[in-house]
Amino acid sequence: MAQQRGYDAIVIGAGVFGAWTAYFLRKSGASVLLLDAYGAANARASSGGESRIIRMGYGADEVYTRWSTNALPKWKELFAQAGRPELFQQTGVLWIAHAGERYAADTMATFERVGVRFEKLASAQLRERYPQIYFEDDCWGVFEPDSGVLMARRAVQTVVEHTEGEGTRYRCEAVRQPEGNQQRLKEIIAADGERFPAANFVFACGAWLPKLFPDVLGSRIFPSRQEVFYFGVPPGDSLFSAPSMPTWLKLKDEFYGMPDIENRGLKIAHDRHGVAVDPDTQSRAPTVEALTLAKEYVARRFPALRDAPVVETRVCQYENTSNGDFLIDRHPAIENVWMVGGGSGHGFKHGPSVGKYVAARVLNGGAVEPRFSLATKQVVQKRAVF
């Protein structure tokens, strides 16, 4: 039995980073155990919920544009193999910019270098194409026609099911904090005392990383509360569904949203970081303040939805690093332990790229991208990746 002789790798955390890491480890021939305390893409996880944007735009930040362009075909390939093509919704993604916004101009320059398809839309073109959205006079847009929405919870669960089918062992199991006074970790111990030995350990636990490694990450990972609202659309009205309505991001306002997908309503969220939270215990009920802000924004940006009812809400969390770069590095004291996280509100789309990158370093070694290193993670937040 694999459990008796030990696994080549144990991945703790079956969110998007952990699931894809297990996928690529198994694809490379490793024996793999995947564990999650609450289950794959559970309601507490940053990878839970129904939908996430997959977009290529990152301003001048070419590394994330390339990772995203590499990730989308992997998502689509897996969904096709699973017979679940609907888990990617090609809504297109619209960046709404104002005059002088450098981020949008840098995004187009990066797209030209990398080879991403896009359209630049003037204010008049935006108003003609999207009459349901209010645009200020100085607005202009960058449209990504090939981008869209991943159906998050089901997407992660599909990755887990696929890698299980390929031989990965998956269990819903909580683990104890590993002891730090050893050069190599020999085993991980479950909450009930069961022991799982392995050659390598990958902790892809999202907002739980600071709890498992308090001395290393307690002051370097910042879980923040994020509230999401779905507004009911008018009966029989297709203007708020794709293809009439794209997924969109408003740079100046820090709001983003998605069209009415699967009849759930127009999704609206504020990208600004909320208060610090504990992912195990934070309240999942929306606040009056966030609801009021969302309603005011919808009334201004989507006039036809001024009196639209809120039909669904969700409270989750971002798992932020100091600047928004991912954390992918070895534990500073335990050489066979890897820490993978720091999705920082933009990581979901990159799951396949992260998983492939981590698996290669766990099995084959190689230098870690300095931006992903523990050494670059500070104890004060100064967000630089959007």
The model's pLDDT over 103-120, given as tens digits with 9 standing for 90+, comes to 999 999 999 999 999 999
| Confidence tier at 182 by pLDDT (50, 70, 90) | confident
Cβ atoms of 244 and 270 closer than 8 Å: no
Q: What is the mean pLDDT of the chain?
A: 96
How do strand 255-258 and strand 266-270 relate by DSSP bridges?
antiparallel
- pTM across the whole model: 0.97
- pLDDT on residue 328: 98
- pLDDT on residue 337: 97
- pLDDT on residue 179: 79
DSSP states of 277-319: --TTT---SPPHHHHHHHHHHHHHH-GGGTTPPEEEEEEEEEE
| Confidence tier at 1 by pLDDT (50, 70, 90) | very low
Question: What is the 8-class DSSP label of residue 234?
Answer: P
- pLDDT on residue 373: 98
- pLDDT on residue 2: 41
The residues, any chain, with a CB within 8 Å of residue 23's CB and separated by 6 or more, are: 159, 162, 163, 166, 168, 355
- Region 2-47+153-220+322-376: CATH code: 3.50.50.60
The model's pLDDT over 20-58, given as tens digits with 9 standing for 90+, comes to 999 999 999 999 999 999 999 999 999 999 999 999 999
- pLDDT on residue 61: 96
For residue 197, what are the β-bridge partners?
A: 187
Nearest 5°: the CA angle 358, 15, 116 is 65
Spatial distance between the Cα atoms of 210 and 223, rounded to a whole number of angstroms: 9
The model's pLDDT over 307-322, given as tens digits with 9 standing for 90+, comes to 999 999 999 999 999 9
Spatial distance between the Cα atoms of 70 and 56, rounded to a whole number of angstroms: 10
Cβ atoms of 279 and 225 closer than 8 Å: no
CB atoms within 10 A of CB 122: 11
The model's pLDDT over 220-250, given as tens digits with 9 standing for 90+, comes to 999 999 999 999 999 999 999 999 999 999 9
Mean pLDDT (whole number) for 10-29: 98
Q: Check pLDDT > 80 for residue 3.
A: no
Peptide bond into 286 cis (omega under 30): no
What are all long-range contacts of 279-284, with beta carbons under 8 Å and residues at least 24 apart?
279/44, 279/45, 279/46, 279/206, 279/207, 279/208, 279/223, 279/317, 280/44, 280/208, 282/225, 282/315, 282/317, 283/315, 284/43, 284/314, 284/315
Cβ atoms of 58 and 107 closer than 8 Å: yes
Q: Check pLDDT > 80 for residue 5.
A: no
Spatial distance between the Cα atoms of 386 and 371, rounded to a whole number of angstroms: 15
CB atoms within 10 A of CB 382: 8
Please list the alpha-helical segments (H only) found in the chain: 2-5, 16-27, 62-82, 102-114, 123-129, 152-165, 209-212, 214-217, 288-301, 351-364
Spatial distance between the Cα atoms of 274 and 223, rounded to a whole number of angstroms: 9
Considering the domain delimited by 78-149+222-316, tell me its CATH architecture.
2-Layer Sandwich (3.30)
Q: Check pLDDT > 70 for residue 265.
A: yes
Q: Check pLDDT > 50 for residue 81.
A: yes
The model's pLDDT over 357-386, given as tens digits with 9 standing for 90+, comes to 999 999 999 899 999 999 999 999 999 999
The token pair at 83 is 């017979």
Residue-range domain boundaries for the chain: 2-47+153-220+322-376, 78-149+222-316
Cβ atoms of 11 and 33 closer than 8 Å: yes
**By C-alpha distance, which of 130, 307, 347, 342 is closest to 221?**
342
